[in-house]
Structure 1
Amino acid sequence: MFLFLSKLLPLFLYPLGLTCVLLVVALVMLWRRSRWVPVPIALALIVLLLGSNAWVANGLVRSLEWQQIPKVELPKADAIVVLGGSTKSAFPPRPSVDLSEEGDRVLYGAQLYREGKAPLVIASGGRIAWRGGGPSESADMAEILKTLGVSASAILQDPTSLNTYQNAVNVRQIMKQRGIRRVLLVTSAMHMPRSLGIFQRQGIEAIPAPTDFLITEQEIEEPNTTPEATILSLLPDADRLRNTTRALKEYLGMVIYRLRGWL
């Protein structure tokens, strides 16, 4: 039940969901012939405009992604942990397992393995049954890792984790069983602050290896380069709205995980 509620309730706090709530309030007020109807409509518009604004979206994402940028070359470790959320199962008509937008996690994990950073790769991630089921994410990741040059014997799987806390708990058990002491933690840069904190809370010596950066120095500078870029940055954009939502999801997740003692 916690898993379902953790997916459902935040939807009403994200920009799009909050906008819908405000518009429903406006409809109720309109039905009651209230003179305050313009207030929730104006608030809904403000939420959408702010959420899809380049400076707001880029600032929120950057505040998360740039926290754990490695300042020196990544050291060697006993294993590379690749967190799930990066694959799409081979359901028809899809011919094979696909990488999602976060697929850089798998690509970077394989790259670190080929560079000799660690002899093992732990693919961590299950599949939520009420979201279609199918093979675990760890199995899908393993398939792609093998095509990228990772030996099948070097891949360990955690096929039951359904959130980041479970990732950390299950990976700790695998580390204990295999005598693994230090790992490189690979996940999306925006997800790294929460993930690293949870893994460290479990007593895991994890070295952050972030990937899948959405905001670079170029994105930060772009809105200020020309008048045209500035105007476009002020206008609503679905991609920026999604980035704002993802950043808010991470901050909200930190609050919830701290309240539960997981972070």
Structure 2
Amino acid sequence: MFFVLSKTIGIALLPANFLIGIGLVGTILLATRLARLGRKLLIASVVLIAICGFSPLGNLLLYPLEARFPPWDPARGAPDGIVVLGGAIDGDLSVSHGKAVFTRAADRVIEAAALARQYPKARIIYSGGSANLIDTDAREADYAAAIFERLGVSKDRLTMERRSRNTKENAEFSKLLAAPKSGERWLLLTSAFHMPRSVGIFRKAGFAVDPYPVDWRTGGTGDLLTFSPFALDGLERTEIAVREYLGLAAYWITGRTSELFPGPNPK
């Protein structure tokens, strides 16, 4: 039920979808006795889309997420394993073209391959099934293995987790495959904006991990007041941030995490 709600109501509440919906309702109301309300909704929709697209709003929302965890410190020693969360490969497009098609989160695979070469004894778990509401045969993990091998990572070090549909299942299934022993150190590699929610979920699952953020979408405090010349870029950053905040709230309310905004030091 939680998965279905996240793929229906959760998606409807994302800024672009929600504001376009308001605009459509406003347009319909123009032909009724509620035309005045319709005009207000239509104007509000256009103005708010412009704010989300061109203003620094997306950067302001993303920065606290991306800055929550510092870059990983290699001085702490070599990791025993690395869990890479899916999201770097578009499963549906990969099925259509018969080869891996990357998303904007390709950093997850590239950085994981670099770490695998740097730490040749570390095990690699790629956790990526299908996040589609209607299940298909598209599984990220089915294509990730070949990419890792082409990047020089031996097949015997790779474990592909292909059942997970969301971050909660990433954590649960990865823990089963990793079977972490006391004293082992595992890295969790995912996009910086997704790290707070991911860490909270892994902690709740009892899988201790060291955050390894990648795939930043903001450059730091210097971007906080930067306007976007392209509305789609600003809308994308706003969408990403709002989705994460909605996810943080939903997972905390439903008990899937123990902290509303997980940080480096668990409470």
Give the shorter-chain TM-score range: 0.7 to 0.9
Residue 52 of structure 1 is matched in structure 2 by 53
Q: Paired residue for 1:80?
A: 82
In percent, how many aligned pairs have the same letter?
29
SS in structure 2 of the partner of residue 210 of structure 1: strand
Q: Which amino acid aligns with 2:158?
A: I
Aligned to 2:128: 125
2-structure distance, mates of 1:80, 1:188: 14
Pair 174,180 (structure 1): closer, same or farther in 2 beyond 3 Å: farther
How far apart are the structure 2 equivalents of 1:146 and 1:180?
Answer: 28
Give the CA RMSD over aligned residues: 2.5
Q: Which residue of 2 aligns with 1:255?
A: 249
Aligned equivalent of 2:237: 243
Contact 1:78 1:180 in 2 (8 A): no
Q: Which amino acid aligns with 2:66?
A: E
How far the C-alpha of 1:95 sits from its partner, in A, is: 5.3
Contiguous gaps of at least 5 residues in structure 1? 224-232
Q: When the two structures are superposed, what TM-score results if normalisation uses the length of structure 1? A: 0.86
> How many residues matched?
253
User: How far apart are the structure 1 equivalents of 2:89 and 2:135?
Assistant: 13
Q: What is the Cα deviation at residue 83 of structure 1?
A: 0.5
- What's the CA shift string for 1:35-94, capped at 9, x where partnerless? 3333212221232022113411111111211111226336322100000111134434x3
Runs of 4+ in 1 over 4 A off after TM superposition: 128-132, 177-180
| CA apart distance, 1:222 | 8.1
Kindly provide the amino acid, as one letter, of the partner of residue 160 in structure 1. R
Match of 1:25 in 2: 25
Partners of 2:132 and 2:165 within 8 A in 1: no
Change (3 A) 1:155 1:259: same
Deviation (angstroms), 1:214 = 1.0
AA at the equivalent of 2:58: A
Report the equivalent of 1:189: 192
The answer to whether 1:66 aligns with 2:67 is yes
TM-score by length of 2: 0.85
The separation in 2 between residues aligned to 1:83 and 1:259, in whole angstroms, is: 23
